[in-house]
Structure 1
Amino acid sequence: MIAALRQRSSSLLLLLGAYFLLNMLVRLSLPASLELDEGQQLYYAQFLSLGYDSQPPFYNWIQYGVVELLGPSLLSLTLLKNLMLFTSYALMAATGFTLLKSRDLAVIATLAILTMPQVSFEAQRDLTHTVALIFSTALFFFALIRTLKQPSLGFYALTGLAIGIGTISKYNFVLIPLATLIALSLEPAFRRRLFDWRLLVTLAIAVAVVLPHGLWFLDHMEEATRNTIGKMTDEKLKTLTGQIAVGLRSLTAATLASAALTVLLLLIPFGKGVRQTLKSGNEWSRLLGRSMAFVVVMLALMVIFGGVSFIKDRWLAPSFLMLPLYIALKVEASGHWPEKALNRFLPVALVIMVLVPLALTLRVFLAGTYIEYQKQSVPYARAITAMLKSMPERPGFVLTSDQQLAGNVRLSAPDLPVGVAPGSAMMPQPLSPDRPVMLIWRDKGRPEPELPQPMRDWVNSQPGLSQQSVGQISLPYLYGKQGDLYHFSYAVYGR
């Protein structure tokens, strides 16, 4: 395998392709109960909109197209995610082979991305918009470095496309090109590229890609920022000093969670020359190193002056996507690394390639015994099928208490329009106004959950709608302990 990886770039792509195919097969073999982001994606795939919620819409748009092509299925969800992750790794491999003279180092730099838990495990477990962020970051640096090495109108345009896609993938992406712009201005070898007229093409394409969603964002600013601001701030912190201390501690923890394991595992092939590696570098390693550092600096400024007190590691991890390549560039610049570096690191990568799908599998089968029940442990399909069978007539519309539940309803009954209370502009139209409406809700699986107030308000807003029946269903968790039940409630309304 090592000889093949050294001789042909296609061998690396085949290895990565096999890994992501394995992850697809694992997800398809596990219960079809959808995770949080999976359910949200399948729910939103009913609509094509310029904006949806507090996350930008790029992943939703692509998912909508895949669902239109393949139907609302688990295959539609897992195929898109793994194709996008595979493309991200392929772009990083292309970037590594462009910058590094050593093929061994390029292979190590690509496979070392697996050492980032947020990119290897969390992205497979249940991330969507962050997967789009990983893809757009990989595309941005691929396009940027090609622009710097082989400046052409096409690469300037591709860089603009990457910036536009990144911005409508996740809003915090904008920190990456901003940090890179500062890094470029500090490197004399690259500074002149900032004064090339073709940079106007980059800006024009980026603006053109962002503009449709940007106009929606301006009209829905409170809706688009409310959840994100709520996640990044803590109203319980009463003093500025306390907020800054908590924020900087959170930033430090997120930085370590994103980078520490990668650095430690790269000591396996490169550990003996650490001192020489730290002293070495070139214009490319300085560019990448400064880009990562300036992202952290900007986040620190947001903590100190912007009131940010909480930063999740998965928000920061894509900013460190170039860390393995940065280290490989410094190692190559030092001129000293073991000839068998790839021999030492490949087993590490292969072990991770086995552990990730294994962990994704065991977390379902061991839930309720050694770990708490997972979202995939909830018997959505059986419950939804039983509730629909209890009705004398198939409903024309289903209203649920949350988007994850709505996505699971759509997976089990793809012919039914599904809405979520409180209602929004994206509430689907019933199949027929004369057919009954079914309400389904839950309270974290607890027995006898009360009908949520937003659902009550929706019912009251519908003229002539009256309750015809109400029921509960309790089913055992999938692969759970005997006697452990998950509870749903449902009601049927008609005119």
Structure 2
Amino acid sequence: MIKTGLRDVSWIFVLLAVYFTLQIGVRLATSHSLDLDEAEQVFRSQWLAAGYGPQPPFYNWLQYAVFQFAGVSLVALSVVKNLLLFSAYLLYGLTARLVLRDKALVAIATLGLLTIPQMVFEMQRDLTHTVAVFFSASIFFYGFIRSLKQPSLASYLITGIGIGFGLLAKYNFAILPAAALIGALADARWRSRIFDRRLAVTAIVALVITLPHLFWLKDNLDFATARTLEKMTASDNAGYPMQVAMGVGSLALAIVSFAGLTVAVFAVVFGKNLRPALAARSEWTRLIERMMLVFVIGILFLIVFGGAAGIKDRWLVPMLFILPLFFCLKIDAAGVQTARAFRRFMAIVAIIMIGVPAALYGSVAAARFTGHYERLNRPYATMLENLRKQAEPAAILAGDSLLAGNLRQDIPDVPVLSVDYPGFRPDLSGRQPLLLVWLIPPKGGSEGLPPTMAEWLQANLGVSAPAASVIDVPYFYQRGDDRYRFGYAWIDRSN
């Protein structure tokens, strides 16, 4: 019998701790500017609300709390994200330890998450709510598996926490506990776990966690779901058969995009042993197979009856994150020898752990050679520093949330508003001067005050459009004399 105590796999978590610490360092070294989701967190951390829009507020609440104690900074953003990711990997590893006999497979299952592009690359590049749903799914899955194998009050409590956090992370998380419930009910040996009276603890904890947002959602359902539904149902006015075909096609492509690299890595690592292993079954593989089936059927119902035409690969995180563990359970059930495969796998993991941070840094730094600029190349901080030499703004109105978040990072004590988010309306009376800033598209964009900003000023302050000016600032990692242009204007500028 191979020992599977925590001491046998603790090196995995040390390795992951080093890796995510490295990711923090790389993010800080890459650019001071913020990408879309990062900027959203900084912008919306100016106020605490039960709901903010199309995404549930778990990540916003967490980031708000951290900013209150640590201040608004890129460091605080990076630490929160990577701490959530590390915690999710830790819980995933603990789940693998519960159901796998071979400690090498515990390592492969846990580190196998690094073979999923949407999780190893995209979550580092610029995702927040998807990170939260992965973290929540890992909590739920650990509590759920513990409740089936080693039921206790604590396991049902953990399951409830996972459900509560998950529903506050992304609405599509709901399909994971639903699939788990149906999958477990289909097995007579586990029905007693589902009908256990301790399940009430799971339900109560989940309800308590989500209750503040549920009250908000009741009155803001259209606001919360309209944008997501618009993305899902966008089919260019295609007829119903074409919409269904587009939806099914996008689901197939999303699954291939999500799982393709993982399948390829396991095929390389285990070679000819993988195909017969996939035919092996155990109680755990059967459970996950049923869960995945329910998950796919649920999405197909959304396509056929809900009009969904475009399924994105990151929306599959709440279920397909289980894939590396599923493959390892198959291999464990088949009794495949893992010593040689483990060495191959660790060589691939080493490449990923070095390659991903290098790619994240290189995609931005390479601009000085290619002239291709990402959002992180934009010099928001330099622009604001130059404008503050003209006057110290008492409030800022930005053209969009991306710009608003980037500005607030460097002037956190000044209210920053965004034209595209009317939900934040602090009292601006007595706050002079007001600085207006907007982005000018690099190719042929208008330099004048955007009409939406002029309308906002008239509607909210009764002020006519002021004279517009332009400031151009060198890109981060600029090539030659390349510069990015911002439009700006002052209202009642005074010192």
Deviation (angstroms), 1:7: 6.0
Alignment-derived partner of residue 110 in structure 1: 110
Determine if contact 2:435/2:488 at 8 Å carries over to the other structure.
yes
Deviation (angstroms), 1:51: 0.4
| CA–CA separation in structure 1 for the residues paired with 2:342 and 2:362 | 30
| CA–CA separation in structure 2 for the residues paired with 1:408 and 1:485 | 18
SS at match of 1:168: helix
Alignment-derived partner of residue 56 in structure 2: 56
SS at match of 2:169: coil
Alignment-derived partner of residue 419 in structure 1: 417
SS at match of 1:64: helix
SS at match of 2:435: strand
| CA–CA separation in structure 1 for the residues paired with 2:322 and 2:113 | 8
Q: 1:333 to 1:462 in 2, by over 3 A?
A: closer
Alignment-derived partner of residue 122 in structure 1: 122
Residue identity matched to 1:456: A
SS at match of 1:340: helix
Determine if contact 1:50/1:212 at 8 Å carries over to the other structure.
yes
Deviation (angstroms), 1:6: 10
Q: 1:474 to 1:308 in 2, by over 3 A?
A: same
Deviation (angstroms), 1:19: 0.2
Alignment-derived partner of residue 480 in structure 2: 482
Alignment-derived partner of residue 256 in structure 2: 256
Q: Does 1:403 align with 2:413?
A: no
Alignment-derived partner of residue 439 in structure 1: 436
Deviation (angstroms), 1:14: 0.6
Deviation (angstroms), 1:369: 4.2
Aligned positions, number: 489
Q: Does 1:316 align with 2:316?
A: yes
Residue identity matched to 2:470: Q
Determine if contact 2:449/2:468 at 8 Å carries over to the other structure.
no
Moved more, 269-278 or 339-348: 269-278
Deviation (angstroms), 1:336: 2.2
Alignment-derived partner of residue 189 in structure 2: 189
CA deviation string 1:80-122 (max 9, x = no partner): 0000000000000101111111111100100110000000000
Deviation (angstroms), 1:216: 0.6
| CA–CA separation in structure 1 for the residues paired with 2:421 and 2:318 | 34
Residue identity matched to 1:486: Y
Alignment of 1:203-352 (within 5 A): 203-352=203-352
Q: 1:452 to 1:84 in 2, by over 3 A?
A: same
Residue identity matched to 1:364: V
Deviation (angstroms), 1:68: 0.9
Determine if contact 1:367/1:480 at 8 Å carries over to the other structure.
yes
SS at match of 2:163: helix
Deviation (angstroms), 1:429: 3.6
| CA–CA separation in structure 2 for the residues paired with 1:92 and 1:304 | 33
Q: 1:419 to 1:187 in 2, by over 3 A?
A: same
Alignment-derived partner of residue 360 in structure 2: 360
CA deviation string 1:147-167 (max 9, x = no partner): 111111221121111111101
Determine if contact 1:399/1:420 at 8 Å carries over to the other structure.
yes
Determine if contact 1:233/1:309 at 8 Å carries over to the other structure.
yes
| CA–CA separation in structure 1 for the residues paired with 2:403 and 2:346 | 41
CA deviation string 1:202-229 (max 9, x = no partner): 1122122112101111211121111111
| CA–CA separation in structure 2 for the residues paired with 1:398 and 1:186 | 57
SS at match of 2:396: strand
CA deviation string 1:330-361 (max 9, x = no partner): 11111123432211211111110001100001
Alignment-derived partner of residue 164 in structure 1: 164
Deviation (angstroms), 1:305: 1.3
Residue identity matched to 1:341: A
Q: 1:445 to 1:9 in 2, by over 3 A?
A: same
| CA–CA separation in structure 2 for the residues paired with 1:139 and 1:455 | 43
Alignment-derived partner of residue 461 in structure 1: 459
| CA–CA separation in structure 1 for the residues paired with 2:222 and 2:450 | 23
Deviation (angstroms), 1:189: 2.0
Residue identity matched to 1:444: P
SS at match of 1:163: helix
Alignment-derived partner of residue 93 in structure 1: 93
Q: 1:33 to 1:434 in 2, by over 3 A?
A: closer
Determine if contact 1:247/1:311 at 8 Å carries over to the other structure.
yes
Determine if contact 1:418/1:428 at 8 Å carries over to the other structure.
no
TM-score, structure 2 normalization: 0.95
| CA–CA separation in structure 2 for the residues paired with 1:300 and 1:468 | 52
Cα RMSD (Å): 2.0
Structure 2: segments with no counterpart, 5+ residues: none
CA deviation string 1:399-454 (max 9, x = no partner): 10111101110112222110111553322344x61521111111434554332333
| CA–CA separation in structure 2 for the residues paired with 1:338 and 1:395 | 63
Deviation (angstroms), 1:271: 2.2
Alignment-derived partner of residue 140 in structure 1: 140
| CA–CA separation in structure 2 for the residues paired with 1:357 and 1:293 | 34
| CA–CA separation in structure 1 for the residues paired with 2:160 and 2:470 | 53
Determine if contact 2:257/2:313 at 8 Å carries over to the other structure.
yes
| CA–CA separation in structure 2 for the residues paired with 1:482 and 1:303 | 49
| CA–CA separation in structure 2 for the residues paired with 1:491 and 1:253 | 46
Alignment-derived partner of residue 472 in structure 1: 470
| CA–CA separation in structure 2 for the residues paired with 1:99 and 1:192 | 19
SS at match of 2:423: coil
Determine if contact 1:448/1:472 at 8 Å carries over to the other structure.
no
| CA–CA separation in structure 2 for the residues paired with 1:6 and 1:464 | 65
TM-score, structure 1 normalization: 0.95
Deviation (angstroms), 1:468: 6.0
Alignment-derived partner of residue 36 in structure 1: 36
Moved more, 208-217 or 105-114: 208-217
| CA–CA separation in structure 2 for the residues paired with 1:178 and 1:371 | 48
| CA–CA separation in structure 1 for the residues paired with 2:238 and 2:421 | 34
Moved more, 23-32 or 410-419: 410-419
Determine if contact 1:280/1:330 at 8 Å carries over to the other structure.
yes
SS at match of 1:241: helix
| CA–CA separation in structure 1 for the residues paired with 2:273 and 2:262 | 16
Alignment-derived partner of residue 377 in structure 2: 377
Deviation (angstroms), 1:44: 0.6
